[in-house]
Every structure is written in structure tokens, then in C-alpha cells.
Amino acid sequence: MLAESLEMDHDTESAFESIVPHLLEQLDVLEDAASLSSYLSTLNTLTHERDAAKQDAMDTLKRLSLSLEKAKRETEAAQAAHAAHKHANHVELASIEDAKFRIAKQIQAEEKSISTLESRRAALLSELEALKAEEELEASRPPDESVLKLNMYKSLGIDLVYENDTIVRCHVRSVKKNDIMPLDLSVHYSRYFYANILWEMCSS
């Protein structure tokens, strides 16, 4: 029984391998090329958008850094002016107190602005690091095997239907009939049996 089973599996694999070239002849090369071109175009667009987002984040970070330095200089100048007014003449005490109030208020506003700018700068730095990490991860990640398999079956005009991670049926597109034909799959039939049926469905 084991020998017969092995022989049957071998015959089934040989039959499947023999019909693959015929199945490939039924491919719509132009449609496949268009699908591939659309995929590459989408990938290129996403790459450009990610690069643009990264460049925009870097430009914004640079502007915020300049604004932060300017705010710090203005705060230091205001603090120096505040210290100078403390040594002014008693005759000008009233105006000095008024100046102290205005300067203190300005310092408070500048410090709040600095805190906000530093928070935004930290957030942008974190976002930039995340973009870099995502870019490096995507560059090192191999193509997803399941996606490649699905694309291969789709290029053959076959859409697989899964239930609990098991293929239970497939839908075969017929270009000649302009129709989609379902085919239920069962473990009770050999791969050779389904290979013949798929050949007939793809050829019809």
C-alpha cells in the first residue's frame, strides 16, 4: 500500500509538473505586466511620500531649532535688561517696577514658548527616528512568502479561498468565457485529479 501511495504521489507530481507549462501559456501577459507596473508604481509613490515626509520633518526640525535659539537669546536679553533696571535710580522706581512686571511677563511667555518648542522638537526627533527605523526594517525585510504565493496564483487566474488556514475552494477566471468558475477542493481526491480539472477550466 505504501509503495502504491508513493507511486501515486509521484505520478500526481509528474502530471502537475507537465501541465504547468500549459497553464503558463494561458496567462494574460499584458494583464500581468499591467498589474506588476501598477504595483511598482504604488511602491514608488509610497517611497517618494515617505522620503518627502522625512525631509519635511527634518526641515521643520531645523526651523524649530533656529526659533529655539532665537527665543533663548531674547530671554537672556530680557533677563539682562531686568537685572539692569534693578540698579536704576529711586526717582525712576515706579517706571522700573512697571518695566519689571512687563519683562517678567515677557520672560514667562518666552519660557513657555521655549518649553513648547522643545516639546515639538523632541516629538519631531522621535518621529524622525521612527521613520529611519521603519525605513531600515523595510529595506532588510524579505518579500512576504504568502503574498508572493497569492500573486502567483492570481497571475494564473486562480483565487484561493481559505477556511481555518486550509484551502477549501478556488475561483478560476476564464478569459474566453469572461466568467469566474468555482471549484471545491477535498482531500479525498488527488492533486492529479484537480490538476486535470484546473487545466480544463483554465483552457475553456
DSSP structure string for 62-97: HHHHHHHHHHHHHHHHHHHHHHHHHTS-GGGHHHHH
* Number of domains observed in the structure of the chain: 2
Of residues 92 and 31, more confidently modeled:
92
The pLDDT value given to residue 5: 47
- Measured between alpha carbons, how far is 147 from 50 in angstroms, rounded to an integer? 22
Of residues 5 and 39, more confidently modeled:
39
Q: Which domain holds residue 6?
A: 2-27+156-203
- Measured between alpha carbons, how far is 190 from 187 in angstroms, rounded to an integer? 7
Tell me the pLDDT band of 2, cut-offs 50, 70 and 90.
Answer: very low
Chain mean pLDDT for the chain: 77
pLDDT at 181 over 80: yes
149 inside domain: no
117 shares a domain with 66? yes
106 shares a domain with 68? yes
177 shares a domain with 119? no
Phi, psi of 143 (to 5 degrees): -60, 140
- Measured between alpha carbons, how far is 116 from 68 in angstroms, rounded to an integer? 9
Average pLDDT of the residues in 54-78? 83
22, 65, 172 from 73: Cα distances, Å:
77, 12, 71
The secondary structure element, H or E, covering residue 184 is strand 179-184
Q: Which of 140, 168, 186 is where one domain is finished?
A: 140
Q: What is the pLDDT of residues 139-162, one digit of tens each?
A: 777 767 777 777 877 887 888 888
Q: What is the pLDDT of residues 98-137, one digit of tens each?
A: 888 888 888 888 888 888 888 899 888 888 888 888 888 8
116 shares a domain with 64? yes
190 inside domain: yes
Other C-beta atoms closer than 10 Å to the C-beta of 85 total 16
Give percent helix, percent strand, percent coil of the chain, each to the nearest 5. Answer: 75, 10, 15
pTM score of the predicted model? 0.31
- Measured between alpha carbons, how far is 114 from 2 in angstroms, rounded to an integer? 79
12 shares a domain with 48? no
99 shares a domain with 74? yes
177 shares a domain with 112? no
